[in-house]
Structure 1
Amino acid sequence: HAAIPWAIVRFILQSAIVHKERMAEIVTNTEYLGKLIVRCVAYEELYLVESKPCNYFSLKLAVEKLYLEILKFLVETAKQLNRTKLGSVLRAILEPEALREILQGIKFHEQQLAAELELAQRNVAQTSFAVTQTVVDHNHKQLTQLLDDLEKPIQRVVSDLQACYQSVQAKKRKNVLNWITNTEYEAPHHLALQGLLEDTGKWFFDRTEYKEWRSASASNTGEVPKDSWLTEEISIAGAGKTKLTCQVIKELHSANPNEVLCFFYCKRDGEASRRIPLTVLQAIIKQLSLRQPDGLPNEILNRYMVDQENCFPAGKSGVLRWEDCGTLLLSLLNMYPQTTIIIDALDELDLDYESKHRHLLLELLNDVILKCESLVKIFVASRDDQDIVMEFKKVPNLFIKATDNLKDIERYIIREFETDRRFSRLPWSPALKNIVYAELCKKANGMFQWVKLQLQFLVSMKVERDIRQKLGKAPKGLMAAYDQIYSLIESEEEYGREAAKCALMWVMCTAMPLTMEMLLEATRYATGSQDIISAEVLLELCRNLLTWDKSEKSNVVQFAHLSVKEYLIAGKWTEAEAHAIAAKSCLTVLISENGLPRTRYRNTTLLEYADSYWLEHVSEGCAGPSRQTFKQPLCDFLGNPALPSPSYRNWIRGGQQSRRVPIARIQYKLYEAHLSTPPNPIFLVAACDFLLEYTDETWPQWECFDLRSRNDRGESLLCIAAENGNSAVVTRLLTHDVVNLNVKGSFGDNPLLVAAYWGHAEI
Structure 2
Amino acid sequence: MSVLLLEEVRQKRELCESRRWDVSFQGNTFRLSHIADKVIAWLERLKAIGDIAVNTDPIHAQLPWAWIRMLLQAATADRETMGSLLVGLDKVFYFIDLCKVYELLYPHDPEMEHAYLNLEATVIELYALILQFLLIAIRAYEGNRYTTISTAFCTLDCINDYNARFEAIVPRIDYAAQNCERCYSLLGRVSSTDQYKSLKRMLEDIERVKALENELRDANNRVQSIWLFLENEKRDDVLRWISNIPYEDHHTLARAGRTGGTGGWLYKQREFQDWQLSKDSMIFWLHGIPGAGKTKLVSRVVDEFLHAQGQKLVYFYCNRNEELRRKPKEILCNFVKQLSIADDQTVIHDSLLQIYDDRRQRGFLSKDLSLEESEALLTQLISTYPKTILVLDALDESEEGSRQGLINYLCRLVDQIQNLKIFISSRRDEVIASRLETNANVGIDATDNQDDIAKFVSQKIDEDEKKRANPISSELKHDIVRILLDKSQGMFQWAALQVTELLSLDLESDIRERLGCLPADLQYAYNEIYQRILGSTGSKFKIAARALQWVLCSEKPLTTDALVFLACQDPQTDTLITPYVDIQFILESCSSLLVMDSQQFCRPSHLSVNDYFENLWGIGICHANAAKICLTHLIVASSQLSQGCSKYSAMVDNFLPYATQHWFVHIRKYEHYIRNTGEKIDPRLSQLVERFLGRVGESGPAYRSWCERCEHLPGFPIEDLKPFSNPVLAVCRFGLHRVPLTWWEAERIDPKQTNKAANSLLVLTIFSENEHAVQKLLSLGEDVNRQLDGLLCSGTALGAAASTGNREIIKLLLSAGAQINQRHAGGIYGSALVASVANPEGRKAAQLLLDSGADINQELDCGIFGSALAAAATRGAGWYDNTSIHLLLRAGANVNQALTSGNYGSALAAAASTPISHETIKLLLASGADANQRLIWGKYGSALAAAAFGSPANISLLLDAGADVNQVLTSGLYGSALAAAAYSQTKYSVKLLLDAGANVNQKLTTGLYGSALAAAVAKKGADKEIVQLLLDAGADVNQKLASGLYSNILEAAQARTRPELYEMLLGAAIRKNQRNLEYISLEADEYKDRKSA
TM-score (normalizing by structure 1): 0.66
Distance in 1, matches of 2:746 and 2:619, equals 33
Alpha-carbon contact 1:334-1:372 (below 8 Å) kept: yes
Q: Decide whether aligned partners of structure 1 residues 643 and 525 sit closer, same or farther in structure 2, where only a CA change above 3 A counts.
A: farther
Q: Could you tell me which of 394, 403, 409 is aligned with 2:438? A: 394
- Opposite residue 239 of structure 2, the aligned amino acid is L
Q: Decide whether aligned partners of structure 1 residues 730 and 263 sit closer, same or farther in structure 2, where only a CA change above 3 A counts.
A: closer
Distance in 1, matches of 2:240 and 2:708, equals 27
Q: Decide whether aligned partners of structure 1 residues 595 and 755 sit closer, same or farther in structure 2, where only a CA change above 3 A counts.
A: farther
Partner of 2:302: 249
Distance in 2, matches of 1:276 and 1:441, equals 37
| Structure 1 residues 582-626: Cα deviation after superposition (integer angstroms, max 9, x where no partner) | 1111111112222899x99xx993221000000111122232436
Alpha-carbon contact 1:595-1:650 (below 8 Å) kept: no
- Opposite residue 193 of structure 1, the aligned amino acid is R
Partner of 1:674: 721
Partner of 2:425: 381
Distance in 2, matches of 1:193 and 1:709, equals 54
CA drift of 1:751 comes to: 6.4
User: SS in structure 2 opposite 1:533?
Assistant: coil
| Structure 1 residues 481-503: Cα deviation after superposition (integer angstroms, max 9, x where no partner) | 11111111111136321221111
CA drift of 1:178 comes to: 2.7
Alpha-carbon contact 2:552-2:610 (below 8 Å) kept: yes
Structure whose CA Rg is larger: 1
Distance in 2, matches of 1:561 and 1:383, equals 13
Distance in 1, matches of 2:389 and 2:520, equals 38
Partner of 1:562: 607
User: SS in structure 2 opposite 1:197?
Assistant: coil
User: SS in structure 2 opposite 1:594?
Assistant: helix
Distance in 2, matches of 1:569 and 1:364, equals 31
CA drift of 1:709 comes to: 7.3
CA drift of 1:721 comes to: 5.8
- Opposite residue 343 of structure 1, the aligned amino acid is L
Distance in 1, matches of 2:713 and 2:277, equals 52
Partner of 2:364: 312
1:45-56 alignment to 2 at 5 Å?
none
1:545-584 alignment to 2 at 5 Å?
545-549=593-597, 551=598, 554-570=599-615, 572-584=616-628
Partner of 1:348: 397
- Opposite residue 454 of structure 1, the aligned amino acid is Q
Partner of 1:285: 336
The reply to whether residue 197 of structure 1 matches residue 259 of structure 2 is yes
Partner of 2:416: 371
Alpha-carbon contact 1:576-1:621 (below 8 Å) kept: yes
1:610-629 alignment to 2 at 5 Å?
610-622=659-671, 623=674, 624-625=679-680, 627-629=682-684
| Structure 1 residues 154-207: Cα deviation after superposition (integer angstroms, max 9, x where no partner) | xxxxxxxxxxxx998434323322332222211111112212222111222222
| Structure 1 residues 62-90: Cα deviation after superposition (integer angstroms, max 9, x where no partner) | xxxxxxxxxxxxxxxxxxxxxxxxxxxxx
Q: Decide whether aligned partners of structure 1 residues 717 and 569 sit closer, same or farther in structure 2, where only a CA change above 3 A counts.
A: closer
The reply to whether residue 328 of structure 1 matches residue 377 of structure 2 is yes
Distance in 1, matches of 2:738 and 2:443, equals 51
Q: Decide whether aligned partners of structure 1 residues 258 and 548 sit closer, same or farther in structure 2, where only a CA change above 3 A counts.
A: farther
CA drift of 1:426 comes to: 4.1
Distance in 2, matches of 1:751 and 1:394, equals 45
Distance in 2, matches of 1:684 and 1:250, equals 47
Q: Decide whether aligned partners of structure 1 residues 659 and 449 sit closer, same or farther in structure 2, where only a CA change above 3 A counts.
A: closer
Partner of 1:606: 655
| Structure 1 residues 95-128: Cα deviation after superposition (integer angstroms, max 9, x where no partner) | xxxxxxxxxxxxxxxxxxxxxxxxxxxxxxxxxx
The reply to whether residue 483 of structure 1 matches residue 527 of structure 2 is yes
Partner of 1:694: 740
Partner of 1:585: 629
The reply to whether residue 360 of structure 1 matches residue 405 of structure 2 is yes
Q: Decide whether aligned partners of structure 1 residues 721 and 209 sit closer, same or farther in structure 2, where only a CA change above 3 A counts.
A: closer
Distance in 2, matches of 1:457 and 1:366, equals 43
Q: Decide whether aligned partners of structure 1 residues 281 and 367 sit closer, same or farther in structure 2, where only a CA change above 3 A counts.
A: same
Identity of aligned residues (%): 30
Alpha-carbon contact 1:229-1:379 (below 8 Å) kept: yes
User: SS in structure 1 opposite 2:603?
Assistant: strand
CA drift of 1:431 comes to: 4.2
Q: Decide whether aligned partners of structure 1 residues 639 and 326 sit closer, same or farther in structure 2, where only a CA change above 3 A counts.
A: closer
- Opposite residue 544 of structure 1, the aligned amino acid is S
Q: Decide whether aligned partners of structure 1 residues 564 and 718 sit closer, same or farther in structure 2, where only a CA change above 3 A counts.
A: closer
Partner of 2:238: 176
CA drift of 1:423 comes to: 6.2
- Opposite residue 453 of structure 1, the aligned amino acid is L
Q: Could you tell me which of 276, 287, 303 is aligned with 2:355? A: 303
Alpha-carbon contact 2:393-2:426 (below 8 Å) kept: yes
Alpha-carbon contact 2:686-2:741 (below 8 Å) kept: no
CA drift of 1:244 comes to: 0.8
- Opposite residue 611 of structure 1, the aligned amino acid is T
Gaps of 5+ in 2: 1-17, 20-227, 642-646, 803-808, 818-1093
Q: Could you tell me which of 254, 269, 280 is aligned with 1:207? A: 269
| Structure 1 residues 710-735: Cα deviation after superposition (integer angstroms, max 9, x where no partner) | 64435465764677655545665879
User: SS in structure 2 opposite 1:558?
Assistant: strand
Distance in 2, matches of 1:751 and 1:695, equals 28
- Opposite residue 323 of structure 2, the aligned amino acid is A
User: SS in structure 2 opposite 1:296?
Assistant: strand
Q: Decide whether aligned partners of structure 1 residues 722 and 488 sit closer, same or farther in structure 2, where only a CA change above 3 A counts.
A: closer
Q: Could you tell me which of 580, 589, 609 is aligned with 1:541? A: 589
Alpha-carbon contact 2:229-2:347 (below 8 Å) kept: no
- Opposite residue 350 of structure 2, the aligned amino acid is N
- Opposite residue 320 of structure 1, the aligned amino acid is L
Q: Decide whether aligned partners of structure 1 residues 731 and 170 sit closer, same or farther in structure 2, where only a CA change above 3 A counts.
A: same
Q: Decide whether aligned partners of structure 1 residues 292 and 247 sit closer, same or farther in structure 2, where only a CA change above 3 A counts.
A: closer
Gaps of 5+ in 1: 1-22, 25-165, 220-224, 663-667
CA drift of 1:535 comes to: 0.3
Q: Aligned pairs, how many?
A: 559
- Opposite residue 231 of structure 1, the aligned amino acid is W
Q: Decide whether aligned partners of structure 1 residues 465 and 370 sit closer, same or farther in structure 2, where only a CA change above 3 A counts.
A: same
Q: Decide whether aligned partners of structure 1 residues 519 and 422 sit closer, same or farther in structure 2, where only a CA change above 3 A counts.
A: farther
Q: Decide whether aligned partners of structure 1 residues 502 and 422 sit closer, same or farther in structure 2, where only a CA change above 3 A counts.
A: farther
Alpha-carbon contact 2:318-2:393 (below 8 Å) kept: yes
| Structure 1 residues 467-491: Cα deviation after superposition (integer angstroms, max 9, x where no partner) | 3222211011111111111111111
User: SS in structure 2 opposite 1:649?
Assistant: helix
**RCO higher in structure (CA 8 A, sep ≥6):** 1
Distance in 1, matches of 2:653 and 2:312, equals 35
TM-score (normalizing by structure 2): 0.47
User: SS in structure 1 opposite 2:291?
Assistant: coil
User: SS in structure 2 opposite 1:196?
Assistant: coil
Partner of 1:451: 495
Q: Could you tell me which of 704, 708, 716 is aligned with 1:653? A: 708
Q: Decide whether aligned partners of structure 1 residues 526 and 626 sit closer, same or farther in structure 2, where only a CA change above 3 A counts.
A: farther
CA drift of 1:433 comes to: 3.1
Q: Decide whether aligned partners of structure 1 residues 425 and 379 sit closer, same or farther in structure 2, where only a CA change above 3 A counts.
A: same
Alpha-carbon contact 1:579-1:621 (below 8 Å) kept: yes
| Structure 1 residues 675-726: Cα deviation after superposition (integer angstroms, max 9, x where no partner) | 324x3323323445636652627999959x9x98764435465764677655
Q: Could you tell me which of 215, 223, 248 is aligned with 1:186? A: 248
Q: Could you tell me which of 506, 510, 528 is aligned with 1:466? A: 510
Which range is displaced more, 724-733 or 202-211?
724-733
User: SS in structure 2 opposite 1:263?
Assistant: strand
